[in-house]
Amino acid sequence: MSLTGALNSAVSALSAQSSALSMVSQNLANSNTYGYKTTTASFESLIADSTSSAYSAGGVSITGVSSIATQGSLVSSATSTNMAIEGNGFFVVGNDSANGDIYYSRNGQFTIDKNGYLSNGDYYLQGWPTDAEGTVLGATTAAALQTVDTKAIGSIAAATTSLSLQANLPADAAVGDSFESELEVYDSLGTAATTTVTWTKTAENTWSAAFSNATSADGNTLLGTSPASNTVSISFNNNGTFASTTPNPPTLTFTGWTTGAADSAIALDMGTAGSSSGLSQLSTGDDQLSVSLEYDQDGISYGTLTGVELGDDGTVYANYDNDQRRAIYKVAVATFNNADGLTSLSSGVYAANSMSGASSLHVAGTNGAGTISGSMLEASTTDTSQEFSNMMAAQQAYSAAAQVMSSVNTMYDTLLSAMR
């Protein structure tokens, strides 16, 4: 009967509009939730019987459509461990710090928990360990993922392995004149040591550089022994540019460190033949001749962890109290063929399923994966103006459906009255 169809249709409308209002309520409730993606109502008509001469209303059904792949705007954050993805992809998170199930999120509100892990609530950020320069160690696969542990390298120290020297040895010095310069190097335990370089002009266009034992900064404590071989003969061209050294290449060694460190072998870079980029021999014309030495060395003093920060390419950097910074992890970015098909869970995480397909893991900014911005967060995609408009539409449709039910009730009363 048509009245029954009208009643059923009105009931389905009430149910559908109630669901639509629930979606609006959920979106508005999460308008300030980082990484939140709105769900919109998709209505579908139900036709009972379109061929009968007596039309019977079918009604309406509703499904929620999640706009998971929609990009939210990026906002700055004062927390150095917060991050946001701009573009395609999700953070990979685990529900346990070790061997947990894998989920995905756009909420980059990560902080360091009491155990040193980067986490967002009960979910732990996953990444790949790197070397000090940020190159991933091993394969960028799911099996190689690890929970990002900020205490993975709690302290650092590095022995000096190379020294680049820049100085002008005065050409107007007399044969037999000597000058001294000091160099600071580090042993394998990060202990600073000082060695004195004695520059001696041994002939025209020829000098020697003799390196002393390694001592403490005040020069009172012997730390490492400098063998006799730590004397280098240096030749210059007649235009003052660097020519060659003997031995070639020159190496500075220290043995018997009293600190317990390993023996040191330091490659010396004194310049490029035919140039003045390193050592040179030019006249200064000064009444008081001297050698002013500048140098670069790759050793690092001992330092302890002070905190971490996120780089714009998804690199997790550890900061130390010796003003050093080194990469420790690279954050993984997961992409999907159908991101909107992911299963939405509480806490802003998603689970893969047959509709979304399996994830593909990438380094940020590669192979179609979005880029990562440190000290940023992705805002909710909720548009409050649009949600209020949707709420009013749902309210009006609900009221209309309720009016239909009232009308059907009146018509049934009329029919029953006629039959009495």
* The pLDDT of residue 407: 78
* The pLDDT of residue 397: 84
* The pLDDT of residue 54: 65
* The pLDDT of residue 255: 95
DSSP, res 79: -
The residue type found at 338 is N
Pair 62, 355: CB distance under 8 Å: no
Residue 82: how many CB atoms within 10 A of its CB? 22
Q: Is the backbone of residue 130 left (phi > 0), alpha (psi -120 to 50) or beta?
A: beta
**Angle formed at CA 69 by CA 92 and CA 351, multiple of 5 degrees:** 40
As given in the structure block, the two tokens for residue 106 are 């756009």
* The pLDDT of residue 16: 86
pLDDT one digit per residue (tens) for the chain, 420 residues:
577 777 777 788 888 888 889 999 999 999 999 999 999 988 888 876 656 666 667 778 888 888 999 999 999 999 999 999 999 999 999 998 776 799 999 999 999 999 999 999 999 999 999 998 999 999 999 999 999 999 999 999 999 999 999 999 999 999 989 999 999 999 999 999 999 999 999 999 999 999 999 999 888 899 999 988 899 999 999 999 999 999 999 999 999 999 999 999 999 999 999 999 999 999 988 889 999 999 999 999 999 999 998 887 899 999 999 999 999 999 999 999 999 999 999 999 999 999 999 999 999 999 999 999 999 999 999 999 999 999 999 899 888 878 887 777 787 777 777 776
Pair 303, 157: CB distance under 8 Å: yes
Pair 305, 152: CB distance under 8 Å: no
Selection from 382, 375, 369, 346 nearest residue 90 by Cα = 369
Delimit the domains of the chain by residue range. 2-67+381-419, 75-151+303-365, 160-298
Residues with Cβ < 8 Å from 136, sequence gap 6 or more? Answer: 128, 129, 130, 330, 363
User: Considering the domain 160-298 in this protein, what is its CATH number?
Assistant: 2.60.98.20
Residue 260: how many CB atoms within 10 A of its CB? 9
Q: Backbone phi, then psi, for 16, in 5-degree steps?
A: -65, -45
Alpha-carbon distances of 385 from 27, 32, 137, 392, 397, rounded to whole Å: 11, 14, 48, 11, 19
